[in-house]
């Protein structure tokens, strides 16, 4: 049996088994929905909204945040206005939002957030990091307040689709549902930190201000979660170390991309950050291995080495087809590959709600090959993308997601 063929099977088998373990842990974990009504105390939150050229949606987002069911004196909406039009700034001035105009030669979310932290008073208990297109569920801050009262101060909310109105939005929605189930809910079920998504994140204010002061790059969410898992930042601000909590019942609605060009831009940014930071922080990974920090190993090593799910599916679909070639030189039984494909399919399908299959599954399958082709092409165009701010424009101001009540 050729060694190369064994390796070609063993590596994807490891990733499938990893996904299956976390998927099963999430599936059989208990659902906990704490009572967040009538709290004994209201923490003070700053909702930080970096807005780079988001003139089409930022006013609507602020108005939505103003209507959150939480004492208005106990939260501020802070818009970090990067390259917004003068008329947009005038409209924002008529709202209750704190507007911090910024301008950078090269914009990043980290730069925008650091200006906000340098400008705002240190009177907040928590900071909510929310993208300009994100809408929070009406009780979002009440739920986060309950988590803070329970001692949690590093939290990832459940990001769900704001819109499911195009083939690529459907694929993006399914991808988010799967990731929430495996890498966030599944991680917590096994006692590990949830991965973060880049928005819908809530932190102790002193902690996140300290962390962001050390970040000045794209892909800041990747660096941020590794710093939290490393635990050193907790000691530096005098807080007890804790894993990242995934709050499944706290929703943040995120606009999903609706065309191939936007899909390619978004995935290019994600892939570049993933593989860049895997190399950049390799020394920290070896140090975590020596000290038995499995939380760091999971977020750094496993998550960054993990190939995109679409590419893993394509690979596992291609290998059994090679057995159809005349005179195939493959020696492993085809049943091994078929079993591996079936296990991977379970990881992908188990988190998906039944309502998705009834309404969207066919569209998702039809458009999957095109999405896979885009992902494959991106692997050869990643050079320099980790140092470039790739902006994805948004235009949806309303929530159009029939699956919200079916997820979870």
Q: What is the Cα–Cα distance from 347 to 182, expressed in whole angstroms?
A: 8
Mean pLDDT for 122-149 is 96
Angstrom distance (rounded) from CA 194 to CA 159 = 13
> Helix/strand/coil (H, E, C) string of 89-137?
HHHHHCCCCEEEEECCCCCCHHHHHHHHHHHCCCCCCEEEECCCCCEEC
Question: What is the C-alpha to C-alpha distance for residues 250 and 314, in angstroms, rounded to an integer?
Answer: 33
Same domain flag for 120 and 239? yes
Does residue 250 share a domain with residue 311?
no
Together in a domain, 151 and 225: yes
* pLDDT score for 331: 84
Q: Is the domain of 213 the same as that of 331? A: no
- What value does the mean pLDDT take over residues 352-376? 85
Which tops the pLDDT comparison, 26 or 367?
A: 26
Q: Is pLDDT of 333 > 70?
A: yes
**According to the model, what pLDDT value does residue 165 have?**
85
pLDDT at 2: 79
Domain-terminating residue out of 256, 283, 309:
256
Q: Alpha helices of 231-259 — where are they, by DSSP H? A: 232-237
Rounded to whole angstroms, the Cα distance separating 385 from 383 reads: 6
Range of the domain at 298: 3-28+266-390
pLDDT tens digits, one per residue of 394-406: 767 778 888 777 5
Query: Confidence class of residue 383 from pLDDT cuts 50, 70 and 90?
Result: low
Phi-psi region of 327 (alpha: psi -120 to 50; beta: other; left: phi over 0): left
Residues 230 and 287 in one domain: no
In a domain, 35, yes or no: no
Is 294 in the same domain as 371? yes
Q: Which of 15-29, 178-192, 209-223 has the lowest mean pLDDT?
A: 209-223
Report the share of the chain in percent with pLDDT over 90. 57
Same domain for 223 and 334: no
DSSP string, 40-91: S----EEEEEEEES-TTTHHHHHHHHHT-SS-GGGEEEEEEEES--HHHHHH
Higher-scoring residue by pLDDT: 249, 374 = 249
Per-residue pLDDT tens digits for 149-167: 999 999 999 999 998 888 8
40 lies in a domain?
Answer: no
- Domain match, 110 and 139 both: yes
Higher-confidence residue of 204 and 378: namely: 204
Does residue 399 sit within a domain?
no
170 and 272 housed in the same domain = no
Distance CA 122, CA 83 (A): 26
Q: Residue 292: its pLDDT value, please?
A: 78
Task: Tell which wins on pLDDT, 187 or 293.
Answer: 187
Identify whether residues 233 and 368 lie together within a single domain.
Answer: no
The last residue of a domain, from among 234, 256, 278 = 256
Work out the percent of the chain whose per-residue pLDDT is above 70: 87
Model pLDDT for residues 193-219, shown as the tens digit of each residue? 999 998 999 999 999 999 999 988 777
Could you give the strand order of the β-sheet that contains 126-129, starting from the edge strand earlier in sequence?
98-102, 75-82, 45-52, 126-129, 201-204, 154-161, 245-254, 135-136
DSSP bridge partners of 102: 82
| pLDDT band at residue 359 under the 50/70/90 scheme | confident
Task: Identify whether 57 is part of a domain.
Answer: yes
1 has pLDDT over 60: no
Cβ–Cβ under 8 Å, residues 116 and 41: no
- Assigned domain for 396 exists: no
pLDDT recorded at residue 274: 66
pLDDT mean across residues, the chain: 88
Domain count, the chain: 2
Same domain, residue pair 198 and 328: no
Residue 183 falls inside a structural domain: yes
What is residue 96's predicted lDDT score, i.e. its pLDDT?
A: 97
Q: How far apart are CA 215 and CA 201, in angstroms?
A: 16
Lowest mean pLDDT among 16-25, 275-284, 379-388: 379-388
Please tell me which residue, 216 or 19, carries the higher pLDDT value: 19
In a domain, 14, yes or no: yes
Q: From CA 357, how far away is CA 98, in angstroms rounded?
A: 43
Q: Would 128 be classed as within a structural domain?
A: yes
CATH number at residue 142: 3.90.550.10
Cα–Cα distances in angstroms (integers) from residue 58 to residues 92, 254, 301, 397, in the given order: 8, 13, 36, 9
pLDDT tens, 68-113? 999 999 999 999 999 999 999 999 999 999 999 999 888 889 999 9
Backbone angles phi, psi at 75, to 5 degrees: -150, 145
Count H helices, E strands: the chain?
Answer: 18, 8
Are 241 and 286 in the same domain?
no
* Boundary (domain end) residue, out of 235, 256, 277: 256
* Confidence band for 388, pLDDT divided at 50, 70 and 90: low
CA distance 384 to 269: 10
Angle of helix 220-230 relative to helix 109-119, nearest 10 degrees, comes to 60
Q: How far apart are the first and last CA of the chain?
A: 43
């Amino acid at each position: 049996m050729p060694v190369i063929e064994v390796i070609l099977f063993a590596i994807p088998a490891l990733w499938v088994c990893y996904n299956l373990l976390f998927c099963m842990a999430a599936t059989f974990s208990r659902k906990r929905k704490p009572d967040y009504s009538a709290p004994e105390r209201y923490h003070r939150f700053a909702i930080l909204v970096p807005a780079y050229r988001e003139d089409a949606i930022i006013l609507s987002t602020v108005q939505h945040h103003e209507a959150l069911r939480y004492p208005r004196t106990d939260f501020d909406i802070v818009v970090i206005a990067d390259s917004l039009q003068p008329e947009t700034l005038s409209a924002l001035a008529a709202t209750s939002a704190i507007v911090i105009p910024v301008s950078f030669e090269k914009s990043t979310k980290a730069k925008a957030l650091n200006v906000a932290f340098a400008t705002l008073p240190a009177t907040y208990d928590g900071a909510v990091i929310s993208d300009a297109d994100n809408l929070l569920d009406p009780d979002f801050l009440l739920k986060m307040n309950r988590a803070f009262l329970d001692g949690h101060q590093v939290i990832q909310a459940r990001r769900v689709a704001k819109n499911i109105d195009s083939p690529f939005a459907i694929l993006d929605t399914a991808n988010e549902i799967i990731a929430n189930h495996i890498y966030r809910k599944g991680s917590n079920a096994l006692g590990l930190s949830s991965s973060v998504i880049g928005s819908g994140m809530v932190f102790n204010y002193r902690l996140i201000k300290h962390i962001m002061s050390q970040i000045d790059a794209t892909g800041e969410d990747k660096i941020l979660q590794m710093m939290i898992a490393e635990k050193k930042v907790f000691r530096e601000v005098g807080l007890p170390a804790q894993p990242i909590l995934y709050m499944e019942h706290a929703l943040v609605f995120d606009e999903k991309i609706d065309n191939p060009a936007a899909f390619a831009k978004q995935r290019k940014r994600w892939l570049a950050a993933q593989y860049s930071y895997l190399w950049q922080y390799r020394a920290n990974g070896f140090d975590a291995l020596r000290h038995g920090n499995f939380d760091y190993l999971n977020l750094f090593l496993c998550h960054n080495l993990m190939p995109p799910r679409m590419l893993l599916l394509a690979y596992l679909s291609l290998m059994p087809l090679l057995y159809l070639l005349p005179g195939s030189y493959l020696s492993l039984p085809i049943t091994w590959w078929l079993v591996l494909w079936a296990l991977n399919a379970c990881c992908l399908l188990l988190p998906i709600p039944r309502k998705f299959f009834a309404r969207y599954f066919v569209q998702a399958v039809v458009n999957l090959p095109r999405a896979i082709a885009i992902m494959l092409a991106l692997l050869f165009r990643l050079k320099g993308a980790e140092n470039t701010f790739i902006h994805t424009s948004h235009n949806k101001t309303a929530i159009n997601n029939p699956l919200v009540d079916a997820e979870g």
